[in-house]
Chains A and B, each alone.
Chain A
């Protein structure tokens, strides 16, 4: 009898990614790599100004160019494409994919060209002449709230997209009843109050692959296939079907290889609707690929929230109350999730602390800028930043060690599940453990001594610490307009190999690897015998998508639930073959055997073959081995951690230099620690980028001043120190994997911990707060005697 190889358990192992061989050889297929016979190319003519009435559009020169198939103005497109829907239950102004009579941000589309190739399409777009009647550009968000210098959407008085929404202690769930007594008492009884206005600045997500879409309407069949660089092909299918007048059964949406998402590819964009709708009009396949200059204006931005923070405490550091007044500059329009993102900032205002009274309020404001939507972290980094900066200011005021102030106020492990003042129910946590590990791992006391020694030499060195708590894997469906579940179908094929679909459509997260690890372990088969299918609504029958760090916590759970159903059925077939009880079977090493009788082992593949040609068919069984599951979590998960940084500022130039970054992250149970490290690194890089060098800047006329990599500082390899990671593991009870999610965590703790370090470094100048990013000129002015 041949010896059976012993298969290692893969869950929890640093398994190399199976996605990589194709990607390192240039064999991935991204949207721009797709070529269809007869395919033509789109190019958009975009507004130069931020706010103007369109008085005329002359497309004659564009139409005269050889190779141009068609030109459409916004008014022409409006005849066959309805206004764009949003995915949140907030009131929203009409938003056309291509502007009809008014442009409201620089870069808004005004016309579109269809042409033989991308060069001709661009030539023709440039040849379109648009005349405008300029209107005042609304740029300053706090001025915009007074209706000045203009009202962008007539139905939204004072540019208020969402007028003051309250939440927290004393506020009823629907926000209609507000009792201020607790929060007022907290501040009345306070021995110390910290108040600070902070800006969490606007960022450009910058996926390395810009957006792109190929749409192919086949008139003969009446069906649409749309390939898009998206995080959620099923949501894309839903909206494309609705706006092109097709059924969801008539649209197939495919997310091929997707070159990064970071939240910016959740939204369904005007270009996707337009490409699909024109393909349907003309009956030909069309491609549109965004260039980088377009991406800066046409892909949603992130953050851009002002926070007015007030903390009330006793002199011994005990927190009494927190007020957080939020003003979100959402740009010119509501996109899919725009209005919901800042509500997550309100929700997470409670941070990791016992705070007897919390009051968060939110106002969302239209300006003449690119709309905002999700960007990695999406509302939670903002909450973390505001609270953790304020905690640091409090520690400084009380002359307490920032770690000890936090320790004193933590929600204790025995308090979980913990209902916060702002409506969240934290699933599990041990914040002190993460803090202690961070202090130990960073050698906090030694760092303090090093800092003090450097200062004695006249160097400006600072230390920063930040806690964070995240909300991930959002569910149940009441909490997410798209549905809070995820779907999977697992099939043991006739040859004993396994294919499994997932609605969690990845764009760099490595789900093909982690999910195959889980299925291989579940069925006791070789990793190489498992294929994970994703990103194609023609193959993956249902799904929501990948965002909010939900792939593993929600999608992974659906996967093993579907797997368990199939395994149970396979055990019934095996039980018939073995004449044994189905509960007495062991799946391991590519075989199925009766417990305690390894000699009985039959190849896994032979049982699979029997299930598809079941002669005889066991009583009560249908042939075949395939089943599906929808997993709907009962609650969100709440990963957490502690980040510590050391930073030096050049006294002569003001240039900051990040010397050290230690990140302790608790994402619950880990499936593949190698991939988790990569996720944390990426999050840290984006958080550090925000703290130190990234910022979207608009001029007073509403022109984007940071519209290319000449002006927007995307971090390079030399901008980072070597990150130092460690983990605590506090499983979640919300799902059977105990996994919480990790995609966004790095953006939360890193940002405040770096600014806390910068303020510490500048402490000799009496500075209390510095807004991001840490531009050398800003720091130099502080060093020269200006105050911030």
Chain B
């Protein structure tokens, strides 16, 4: 067992974890933050994307011990004071989700995308979310949602 300290959605956390425990399982099973999902075992689907020190990271690709000392934001921590994040709102407005399973990871990836590229072209968006799979939407409404959030931020 290894001891870790980290901040998750603004709250300081300490835990004893098995060194092999994946960050996603720490978040889901120890903190019960089940909004972060697992949809593959090869780090390709992006469903488990969270922000680690402000950057989007696939949390199945990281051990919990590697997150020691870091600040993590999950989908549950994205809204502030009860106000949806512009991306959350845009996904709702544009019907950017169907089954919703990929959605938290998709939104967290889009957070980083818009921080790095505030005025993305459609191509930028399609490339920017290519680390995230969605099987329901054909991506078009997701692209629309990210465009809408980008326009609202400006």
Contacts and interface: CB of A to CB of B under 8 A. Distances in A.
A binds B: yes
B76 A26 contact: yes
Nearest to B134: A208
A292 B39 contact: yes
Question: Looking at chain B's contact residues, is the secondary structure mostly helix, strand, loop, or mixed?
Answer: loop
A504 to B, nearest CB: 15
Interface string A370-406: 0000000000000000000000000000000000000
Interface string A699-714: 0000000001110001
A716 interface: yes
A722 B34 CA distance: 33
Given A25-B75, A25-B76, A258 B40 contact: no
Contacts of B100: 19-20, 23-24, 28, 257, 259, 508
Nearest to B77: A26
Given A20-B97, A26-B74, A682 B92 contact: no
| Interface band, chain B | 35 or more
B141 A678 contact: yes
B121 to A, nearest CB: 12
B124 to A, nearest CB: 11
A722 B135 contact: no
Given A678-B137, A717-B125, A24 B99 contact: no
Contacts of B36: 26
Q: Which of A20, A26, A206, A718 has the most CB of B within 10 A?
A: A26
A652 interface: no
A29 B34 CA distance: 8
B42 A710 contact: yes
Interface in B2-34: 18, 20-21, 25, 28-29, 32-34
B56 interface: no
A342 interface: no
A507 to B, nearest CB: 6
A628 interface: no
Nearest to B90: A24
Contact of B127 (A20, A682, A718): A718
A675 B95 contact: yes
B47 interface: yes
Given A208-B134, A258-B99, A509-B98, A717 B34 contact: no
Nearest to A19: B100
Interface in A8-28: 16-17, 19-21, 23-28
B99 A209 contact: yes
A260 B41 CA distance: 18
B19 to A, nearest CB: 11
Contacts of B44: 708-710
Q: Which of B18, B28, B99, B143 has the most CB of A within 10 A?
A: B99
Nearest to A26: B35
B139 interface: yes
A208 B138 contact: no
Contacts of A710: 42, 44
A259 B93 contact: no
B104 A26 contact: yes
A681 B141 contact: yes
Contacts of A108: none
Given A23-B97, A510-B98, A720 B20 contact: no
Given A119-B18, A717-B129, A723 B138 contact: yes
Contact of A709 (B34, B38, B42, B134): B42
A33 interface: yes
B133 interface: yes
Contacts of B84: 21, 24-25
Nearest to B143: A717
Contact of A722 (B79, B88, B129, B140): B140
10 tightest A-B CB contacts, nearest first? A26-B35, A259-B101, A23-B100, A508-B99, A685-B138, A508-B98, A681-B138, A26-B75, A33-B34, A709-B44
Given A17-B92, A710-B44, 5 more contacts: A20-B91, A25-B35, A708-B41, A709-B133, A717-B134
Interface of B: 18, 20-21, 25, 28-29, 32-42, 44-45, 47, 74-76, 78-79, 84, 88, 91-93, 95, 97-104, 107, 122-123, 125-127, 129-130, 133-143
16 contacts: A19-B100, A24-B100, A25-B35, A28-B100, A29-B34, A30-B37, A32-B37, A33-B34, A208-B101, A260-B101, A262-B135, A682-B98, A709-B40, A716-B129, A722-B143, A723-B138
